[in-house]
Amino acid sequence: MKYEIVTYGKSVLREKAQPIEDITADIRKLADDMLETMYASNGVGLAAQQIGLEIAICVVDVPPAQDRRPETGERENPDVEMPLVLLNPVIIESTSSHRSEEGCLSIPDIVAPIKRAKEVTVEFLDLNGARRSIRAKGLLARAVQHELDHLNGMLVVDRMSLVKKAAISGKLKKMKKEAQ
Ligand SMILES: [Zn+2]
């Protein structure tokens, strides 16, 4: 089932996710539906708040063509099996950061340079209840940090420069108004 994506201005995007205690059939179905919704929107990640739920689950899938270092064309994360379904994810280690253009399915048609760690180690439960950790690099690292922000009620607008935020303030106000 494909969900409608919640857009900027809706209060659920500002809620913190509750940890998942039991991995039920409903959670597995939800993971499938979130992936379907993400693919239909051409996104590389989606968090529960973006479909109106306040629980700690997000999905990420960076296609092989986008999982490449721009300078060399080498794969960034050849050993990470995608798609990823992350339950109760936590970043336990991160490296120095850099800025790169980033967008969000909940804030359509807006991209801005956002500072993110180049690599992160994220710990999470998989759908079998196994505790796992992965080292993510490049776009995957960026997507993981973006989705974990959503689970904490944070959005890219909170990480934009004040200049950029001022430049798009009209669009944001309009979205907020439409959300009411
Ligand atoms: Zn987003």
Task: Express each pLDDT in 68-85 by its tens digit.
Answer: 998 899 999 999 999 999
Is 147 a known active-site residue?
yes
| Residue 94 exposure: Cα atoms within 13 Å on the Cβ side | 15
Find the 131 Cα to ligand 1 centroid distance in Å.
Answer: 25
Q: Domains along the chain? A: 11-179 (3.90.45.10)
End-to-end CA distance of the chain, in Å?
25
Task: Express each pLDDT in 128-176 by its tens digit.
Answer: 999 999 999 999 999 999 999 999 999 999 999 999 999 999 999 999 9
Find the 86 Cα to ligand 1 centroid distance in Å.
Answer: 15
Sheet of 57-60: strand order equals: 45-47, 57-60, 84-94, 119-125, 131-137
Catalytic residue among 15, 74, 147, 178: 147
Find the 28 Cα to ligand 1 centroid distance in Å.
Answer: 21
Find the 76 Cα to ligand 1 centroid distance in Å.
Answer: 22
- CB atoms under 10 Å from CB of 25, counted, come to 7
Sign of CA pseudo-dihedral 12, 13, 16, 21: positive
